[in-house]
Structure 1
């Protein structure tokens, strides 16, 4: 028996001239099986559940991301009504926005993907966020959409284009959603460092998980970051510590530990060499300037 279906219209969701809508939703068993007249990129932020589509059901979990084209009937459901919630981040946008993004896209691959979205030739896609790169983008999209301050529309469009570029890159190396790629690119190595910087990382460990030799990794870091491996890791940790100093009231010793430094003297020394200030001076200065 054919299940009942609703159609969602962008005019109900879009505000002003952004032609976009961003939300974070706890899925349930009462939400409607539906299609829509807009495009959707959905990201599983928490939990596990199922994605019900026209002729199939796909198990989903945190880190799975989906491109849902015009008119495709679907709905997300949690695994149970009283278990861990299934949280989905949604970025939906009008086809009318795509010409603006196409005009801005300077590389042929991105422009081609945008045109496929525009003419409807890009079908349903599912990929896995292997190193949280999409999670960070969805956090930024949600924050910018909620703020509604000067420049938010342009900022949202820029973030959407960034999301689509990352999506395009992921599609090039995508495999079935239940499997993992056998050999990561150096970009994946950088993303791994971004997600694991707080732990004890060595070049030998990176070589083991990536398949690159230590010597080749050193060359890749020099070529693509302009820094040695050791310097790159230090800069990631100091960047993260600056963010924590600006946005939390945690003790400096706790922040040092959070970003991977067990020795306060080493943390203070590297931080001052990088910023010209001690961690305490940096926190005081940023608070003073708002």
Structure 2
């Protein structure tokens, strides 16, 4: 277990609308090492401070946008007693829209917010400095969001969702331009980590009959186990156990429809060593037993 607290998003955010926006200054910054289950996007409005993340120190100045992905240890620190103002946005992706439980449609944002900050290469800074014109747009957007959050007038959640979606789109487009200025080696490192994650999913989809464990699949994905499970939830809408079960049950349904194999043989073929566990899982996913499912397919 880590020697710093990891906050579940339900401890810090409203479960119905998991979103929060705050202004951070030297007197209100979090100086203690911590991590959280939700995503955090931060924008430096003015001044400068130090940011410690994954054991490394980074200097933040006006116009910097950076991401704190789930489970990443981090803290802020003053820089030579300098003043600063930072806007901090905490949210779970499904706060925007339930469909954002599947983030695969905005791969560029996933690269910036979830993949890149994990990479410990010293030359890969986990931040992006926005050009002046984009800074103005982002600052106006964040100001509108702050007002909506503080005043909470009728419809404020819809208004915040709209502004948050704009922020994600701006981040996507800006990171796409930003990544084009990186060296081929830097782009290759990010691509390698992204590909490792999707290769781990592909392995689950083709080796589901094997005894698969979260730790082993996370290692293939070049991620810690808790982070890998969170990323699966993000891009596929399911945790490791949920996704593996769904893959196995889908395969068993195909075998029930297309073969004369017994239910016990099918259970073994899709990775279940205990027929009772297979029956319970199948009914949980489909609402019927494997036998009843087969009867209704003929």
TM-score, length basis structure 1: 0.51
What do the CA deviations read for 1:28-77 (whole angstroms, capped 9, x no partner)?
A: 57621111000010011121111111131111111101022111111121
Partner residue, 1:112: 107
What do the CA deviations read for 1:132-168 (whole angstroms, capped 9, x no partner)?
A: 2222221111111111111111111111110000000
Is 2:147 aligned against 1:155?
Answer: no
The answer to whether the 8 A contact 1:54-1:73 is kept is yes
Which residue of 142, 145, 148 maps to 1:144? 148
Partner residue, 1:67: 67
What do the CA deviations read for 1:71-104 (whole angstroms, capped 9, x no partner)?
A: 1111121213xx3322211111014436525499
The answer to whether the 8 A contact 2:44-2:85 is kept is yes
Q: Cα–Cα, structure 1 residues 15 and 177, in superposed 2: closer, same or farther, change >3 Å? A: farther
The answer to whether the 8 A contact 2:50-2:58 is kept is yes
The answer to whether the 8 A contact 1:49-1:77 is kept is yes
Aligned length: 171
* Aligned counterparts of 2:30 and 2:109: Cα–Cα separation in 1: 33
Q: Cα–Cα, structure 1 residues 23 and 30, in superposed 2: closer, same or farther, change >3 Å? A: closer
Partner residue, 1:89: 87
* Aligned counterparts of 1:147 and 1:99: Cα–Cα separation in 2: 22
What do the CA deviations read for 1:158-200 (whole angstroms, capped 9, x no partner)?
A: 111100000000101116999xxxxxxxxxxxxxxxxxxxxxx
The answer to whether the 8 A contact 2:22-2:87 is kept is yes
* Aligned counterparts of 2:181 and 2:58: Cα–Cα separation in 1: 10
Higher share of residues assigned helix: 2
Partner residue, 2:131: 130
* Aligned counterparts of 2:167 and 2:99: Cα–Cα separation in 1: 12
Partner residue, 1:24: 23
Question: Superposition RMSD on alpha carbons, in Å?
Answer: 3.5
Structure 1: unaligned runs, 5 residues or longer: 179-290
Look up the SS of the partner of 1:47 in the other structure. Answer: strand
Partner residue, 1:33: 33
Q: Cα–Cα, structure 1 residues 67 and 92, in superposed 2: closer, same or farther, change >3 Å? A: same
What do the CA deviations read for 1:119-141 (whole angstroms, capped 9, x no partner)?
A: x5564541112122222221111
Partner residue, 2:11: 12
Partner residue, 2:170: 166
Q: Cα–Cα, structure 1 residues 19 and 165, in superposed 2: closer, same or farther, change >3 Å? A: same
The answer to whether the 8 A contact 2:50-2:57 is kept is yes
